[in-house]
Amino acid sequence: MTAEPAARPVDRRTRGIPAALVRYRTMAWIVGVMLILLVLVAVPLKYLAGMPGPVAVIGTAHGFLYCVYLLAAFDLALRGRWTAKGTILVLLAGTIPFLSFVAERIVTRRTRAGERV
- Provide DSSP, 45-91: HHHHH---HHHHHHHHHHHHHHHHHHHHHHHHHHHHT--HHHHHHHH
Widest pairwise Cα distance in the chain: 75
Does residue 35 fall inside a structural domain?
yes
Q: Which domain holds residue 94?
A: 17-112
pLDDT tens digits, residue range 23-37?
A: 999 999 999 999 999
Q: Is residue 36 part of a domain?
A: yes
Q: Is residue 6 part of a domain?
A: no
pTM of the model: 0.84
pLDDT value, residue 4: 63
Read off the pLDDT of residues 44-55 as tens digits, 9 standing for 90 and up: 999 999 999 999
CA angle 94, 12, 88 (to 5 degrees): 20
**Residue 103, domain member (yes or no):** yes
What is the tens place of the pLDDT at every residue in 58-98?
999 999 999 999 999 999 999 999 999 999 999 999 889 89
Percentage of the residues of the chain whose pLDDT score is greater than 90: 79
Residue 104 lies in a domain: yes
With respect to residue 11, please indicate whether it lies within any of the assigned structural domains. no
